[in-house]
Structure 1
Amino acid sequence: MKFHKILIAASLVLASTLSISAAEYEVHMLNKGADGKTMVFEPHFLQIAVGDTVKFIPTDKGHNAETIKDMFPEGGNQFKGKINEEFSVTFDVPGAYGYKCAPHFAMAMVGLIVVGEDPANLDAIVNARGPAKVKDAFAELAAMVGQ
């Protein structure tokens, strides 16, 4: 009986330690950002730890967030929220994740989440094919890695 109580106490300590170490971030989907730019994610760049969660919030209507094909690490989570849907993603695989708002992709409504310190797939994101506006946005985002 005493061993059972010790095991339960140890499990509770471990569970509380794990929940404290993981962080949750919010990304808002906006028609206009604080800097005056239109059709943006705010923040549009995050550098987080493995196990952290990002909550995507459609602050303004008409937006979604979804990974872009070939812009996430091998084995990483693909995600695709519905229009006007709030949802959360926990990132368990290190690397860079490029994402977009599907209705406003041509307007370069994109963002970048870097999980861990050294995203091996960052060059693939920067060199991906796409509209010039989107390529410029990802080059700007990639320059923020490690800052």
Structure 2
Amino acid sequence: MRIPTNPLRLLSVSLSLGFAPMFAQAEEHRILMLNAAADDAQHTNVFAPDILHIALGDTVTFIPRDEGHNTASKRGMIPEGAEPWNSPMDEEFSVTLTVPGIYGYLCLPHYEMGMVGLIIVGDGDANVQAARKVRHPGAARSAFRALFKEVDTLR
């Protein structure tokens, strides 16, 4: 039997012979944009979850459950070569992350209040030191500090 070199034909032959595909299926993840945490009403303007670990090529969809939120990548907190994003207000927004590293993100209207999060793609080591050095205003400073501390305990 001749082995096909075309990737689609190779996948077709693999499936017809009963072999699993030779690559992992990309997954979809959801992050909610909320006025208050479900388990702590005093913790306002949050992303849930605020730390997400995903595989290379996975898609993250940000879902506004409450009005007045968006998502934007934080300059200096995404890996080199990654595409930054800035979603419209109050709209569902999806981003597929294809560069390994840590992605810091925020809600523009609530950034200074600490509405921030981290997405770790792959091992997340590519830009972690640079991301830690970025300065933030107000409560965002302590929020990112707490997120990095939590990431450190997970390693």
Q: If the length of structure 1 is used for normalisation, what is the TM-score?
A: 0.85
| Alignment equivalent of 1:27, drawn from 28, 31, 34 | 31
| Larger helix percent | 1
Q: Which amino acid aligns with 2:27?
A: A
Give the share of equivalent positions with the same residue, in percent.
44
Alignment length (residue pairs): 145
User: Which residue in 2 is equivalent to 1:128?
Assistant: 134
User: Which residue in 1 is equivalent to 2:101?
Assistant: 95
Residue 17 (structure 1) shift: 3.6
Tell me the distance in 1 between the aligned counterparts of 2:9 and 2:134.
50
Residue 55 (structure 1) shift: 0.5
Relative to structure 1, the CA distance from residue 49 to residue 62 in structure 2 (aligned partners, 3 Å threshold; closer, same or farther) is same
Q: Which amino acid aligns with 1:34?
A: A
Residue 9 (structure 1) shift: 5.8
1:126 and 1:135 in contact (8 A); partners too: no
Aligned 1:29-108 pairs, distance under 5 A = 29-36=33-40, 37-108=43-114
1:76 and 1:93 in contact (8 A); partners too: yes
Task: Give secondary structure in 2 for the equivalent of 1:136.
Answer: helix
Tell me the distance in 2 between the aligned counterparts of 1:135 and 1:42.
18
Task: Give secondary structure in 2 for the equivalent of 1:137.
Answer: helix
Tell me the distance in 1 between the aligned counterparts of 2:39 and 2:133.
27
Task: Give secondary structure in 2 for the equivalent of 1:143.
Answer: helix
Residue 136 (structure 1) shift: 1.4
Q: If the length of structure 2 is used for normalisation, what is the TM-score?
A: 0.81
User: Which residue in 1 is equivalent to 2:117?
Assistant: 111
Give 5+ residue unaligned stretches, structure 2: none
Tell me the distance in 2 between the aligned counterparts of 1:56 and 1:48.
14
Q: Which amino acid aligns with 1:62?
A: G
Give 5+ residue unaligned stretches, structure 1: none
After TM superposition, what 4+ stretches of structure 1 lie above 4 angstroms from structure 2? none
